[in-house]
Amino acid sequence: MHGPAVSGWLLVTLCGATGAYCLVRMRSCSGQAREAAGGDALMGLGMAAMAVPAAVFALPRWVWVMYATVFGAAALRALLPSRRGTHHLHHLVGSLAMVYMAVAMPSGAAHAGHPAAGIPLLTGGLLAYYTMYVLRSGVRLVPLAPPAGGAAAIPWGDRPELAPACRLAMGLAMLAMLLTL
């Protein structure tokens, strides 16, 4: 990722922790919830790897091709289920955004007289999508009523509030990464 190294490492930490939690969540669920957790884990860990600051560790071109291939396959896998629900549609958009960034990031950076990488109209559309997604997700996290009956010991993988919080964190990270294009 191009930009300040501190923000890059913060994104690596945030996305890595989110991806790791989604892997834990995969162990405690089944069916579509497990599939969604796997998609979230792939996205979080892929974003963590992509956010490593370019000034610290410049990735070879073949790694970017690998990113584009993996997330292109993830987009194809999310294409058919995207008709069933908005979460699958979000995975499709996220996977395509990752392909776009994998193609645009190694080609240049928007700093010190270099032209911006990527297509401004497409980057703007993705920024608008993720801005709306983050705002909508943030509003959904606000509790409407206190939990009834007290808090019982719930395993980390089964906490209902953490999956949307992870998706919100990944949406914010995607916004930050798109802003660097």
Neighbours of 44 (CB within 10 A): 25
Split at pLDDT 50, 70, 90, the class of 114 is very low
Query: What separation, in Å, do the N-terminal and C-terminal C-alpha atoms of the chain show?
Result: 9
Indicate the residue type of 60.
Answer: P
Instruction: In whole angstroms, give the CA distance from residue 75 to residue 79.
Output: 6
Closest by CA to 98, choosing from 19, 173, 33, 2, is: 173
Q: Crossing angle, helix 120-141 and helix 86-104, to 10 degrees? A: 140
Alpha helices (H) in the chain, listed in sequence order = 5-27, 32-50, 61-79, 86-104, 120-141, 162-179
**pLDDT tens for each residue of 119-132:** 889 999 999 999 99
Per-residue model confidence as pLDDT tens digits over 146-166: 666 655 666 655 666 788 888
Kindly state the percentage of the chain with pLDDT values over 90: 39
Q: Is the pLDDT of residue 113 over 80?
A: no
| Consecutive H or E run containing 116 | none
What is the average pLDDT score of the chain?
A: 83
Give me the amino acid identity at 50. M
Q: What pLDDT is attached to residue 174? A: 94
Query: Is 83 strand, coil or helix?
Result: helix
pLDDT confidence bin for 101, thresholds 50/70/90: very high
Q: What is the pLDDT of residue 93?
A: 93
pLDDT at 135: 94
With a cut of 90, say whether residue 19 has pLDDT above it: yes
pLDDT score of 1 more than 60: no
- Mean pLDDT over 165-175 rounds to 92
Q: How far is CA 124 from CA 40, 120, 169, in A?
A: 23, 6, 20
